[in-house]
Every structure is written in C-alpha cells, then in structure tokens.
Structure 1
Amino acid sequence: MGEPDIVLTRVDNRLVHGQVGVVWTSSVGANLLLVANDDTAEDELQQQLMSATADSSGVGIRFWTIDKTISTIHKASARQHIFLVVRTPQDARRLVEGGVPIHELNIGNMHFSDGKEQVTKYTYMNQQDKDDLRAVADAGVNVFIQETPDDKKIKIQEVI
C-alpha cells in the first residue's frame, strides 16, 4: 500500500456541516470525508446529521476514533481522495504524532469558550491549542487558517 491520498485535513469544531460538506469537499476534490474524533465515533445522532450532508454532496463518510484512524488510514485505496476532518488541534497533533501523513492542516472554525482568545474573526485559541498547532507545524505540516476556499490563507506562524 502506498501513502493514503489525504487531500486536506481541517480542524473545525463543527466537524461536517454545509461549508465543509459542500464547499470544501468539492474545492479539494474529495470523495470521502473521514471524521476522526473519539466522541463523534460513538455518537450516532451526530453521525446521522453529518451523513446527510455528505449524502447531499455525493461523497462517502466515515467516523473513526483517533486510534482507528492511525491504525487504518494506511489501508486506504488509491481511488479514495480523503478529506480528513478533526474537532481540535489536539486531535490533529495525535494523528501527526501517530504517523498519519498529513501535509496540510487547515484551521477553520474554532469557537470562543472560556480561556480562549480571538486569533482571527472565527478562530479562538487557548495556550494548549497554540502548543498543539506549533508541534504540528514543527513536524513539517503546512498549518494555515482559512475559513473558506476563497479566503486568503494565513500562516499559523503569523498569529500564534
């Protein structure tokens, strides 16, 4: 088996929604959405809602834990063009450190919560988020913030 064709990896605390399932998926040429998040892998209601979005875009969707993604993604078929979506920078860091070949990490929506500061219009981070993203970037991954495919990419090093 060769390296899986991961066309893009995105951190978005909403995971798969209209913007991800339609706009981003078609923009990057994906035919499979892979949601890698431990909580979502166990939540059937969330899976049903996200599956409806994937169905409307004509792409497949899978819901795996971080550990299953690490152990299984290398078995992907060459015809699978994978858009990998995670909820947090911590999920992304675990994947990279687990050997998942992520070359680009797009930071999408990271909503405000206690202890987080605004980094861009739609991106709020705490120190742990920043540390995790630095570690991913230090591992050689191109990490950038970009809300939609038409927006300008902001290199993570410019804001953290």
Structure 2
Amino acid sequence: MPEPNIVLVRIDNRLIHGQVATAWAQHSGANLLLVPNDDVAQNPTRQSLMNLAAPKGAQTRYFSIQKTIDIIHKAAPRQLIAIIAETPQDVLKLVEGGVPIKKVNIGNMHMAEGKKQISKAVCVDENDISTFKKLSELGIELEIQRVPTEGKENILELIK
C-alpha cells in the first residue's frame, strides 16, 4: 500500500490559524489540511472558524486521533497532506498508531501553568520534553520554525 503523501506535520496550539496556515500550505504545497483532534472533531463551531482561516484551494478535515490513524493510509496520492496537531502528545499517538511521520515542525506552544519558554513561540513542560525525546528516539526529526521565512531551531538543544 502506498504511503500517504504527508508534506508537513506541524504542532501549533492554534491549529489552522490565519497567515500561518496560508504560509505553510503554500510552502509545503499541501492541498489538504488535516487536524487530528478529539475535541475539534466534535466541535462544528471550531471547525467553521478554522475553515475561514484555511487557505483558498485547500481542503480541511477534522478527525479524532483514532480516526486519523484508521484512515490516513486510504489517502489518495493526489492528496498532499499537512497534519496540524495541537500538542506533541497528539503527534506521538499518531506515530505510535502507525502514521508515517518523519519530521515535525514545531510552531506555537503557548505559555501555561508549569511551562517554561524555550524559544520565541514555544513553551514546554516536563511532559512535552519527554514526548519530544520519545519522538526523537523514534527517529523523527524535530525543528522549531514559526513561519517558513524564519530560521529553524533544534528543540533538542533547547530542552537539554
């Protein structure tokens, strides 16, 4: 079975979000934005708001994490998929469920109780750090890059 054409996997707690979504869709060539998120999958209001922010010409899909795992391999070769996940934990669930992810772009993880800022737009807690280390151990390339025009940072250097 051919692998799904995943052109981008991004962690952004805002999910599909204005200029950021447009910039990354253009940069990656994605024509399908897939949000694997149990809450959003059941929340038509959030889906509608994200559809407004989605770049023109790109389709959107909002699936639970399990449904994403179950159907990603049925994607057509013409579907150039950008997966936009809310947290590193969600990405790890996808990987453990067999979604063929090779590289993760870390965009925006906002400040919250118990988190520390490690780069301009990325704040992490111990759970995030251990999840990123697990992803790295699974051979997945991790880089922080807010928008395609900015430089990349190695998250493993920043969480030492």
> TM-score by structure 2 length?
0.96
How far residue 91 of structure 1 moved from its aligned partner, in angstroms, is: 0.3
Which residue number in structure 1 is paired with residue 121 of structure 2?
122
What runs of 5+ residues in structure 1 fail to find an aligned partner?
none
Do 1:21 and 1:57's aligned partners in 2 also have CA atoms closer than 8 Å? no
Q: Matches of 2:20 and 2:98 in 1, distance apart?
A: 24
Does residue 15 of structure 1 match 2:15?
yes
Q: Secondary structure at the match of 1:77?
A: coil
Amino acid of the structure 2 residue aligned with 1:40 = V
Which residue number in structure 2 is paired with residue 38 of structure 1?
38
Q: Matches of 2:20 and 2:46 in 1, distance apart?
A: 15
Q: Matches of 2:89 and 2:40 in 1, distance apart?
A: 15
Matches within 5 A, 1:83-122: 83-122=82-121
Q: Secondary structure at the match of 1:57?
A: coil
Give the % identical residues: 47
Cα distance per residue 1:35-80 (max 9 Å; x no partner): 01111111110000111222x4210000001101111100000000
Runs of 4 or more above 2 Å deviation? none
> TM-score by structure 1 length?
0.96
How far residue 156 of structure 1 moved from its aligned partner, in angstroms, is: 1.8
Deviates more, 1:15-24 or 1:124-133: 15-24
Backbone CA RMSD of aligned residues: 0.9
Q: Matches of 1:57 and 1:27 in 2, distance apart?
A: 14
How many residue pairs were aligned? 159
Amino acid of the structure 2 residue aligned with 1:57 = K
Which residue number in structure 1 is paired with residue 50 of structure 2?
50
Do 1:6 and 1:82's aligned partners in 2 also have CA atoms closer than 8 Å? yes
Amino acid of the structure 2 residue aligned with 1:95 = L
Which residue number in structure 1 is paired with residue 78 of structure 2?
79
Q: Matches of 2:14 and 2:108 in 1, distance apart?
A: 7
How far residue 158 of structure 1 moved from its aligned partner, in angstroms, is: 1.0
Q: Matches of 1:76 and 1:82 in 2, distance apart?
A: 9
Which residue number in structure 1 is paired with residue 65 of structure 2?
66
Q: Matches of 1:111 and 1:29 in 2, distance apart?
A: 26
Which residue number in structure 2 is paired with residue 139 of structure 1?
138
What runs of 5+ residues in structure 2 fail to find an aligned partner?
none
Which residue number in structure 2 is paired with residue 158 of structure 1?
157
Do 1:37 and 1:65's aligned partners in 2 also have CA atoms closer than 8 Å? yes
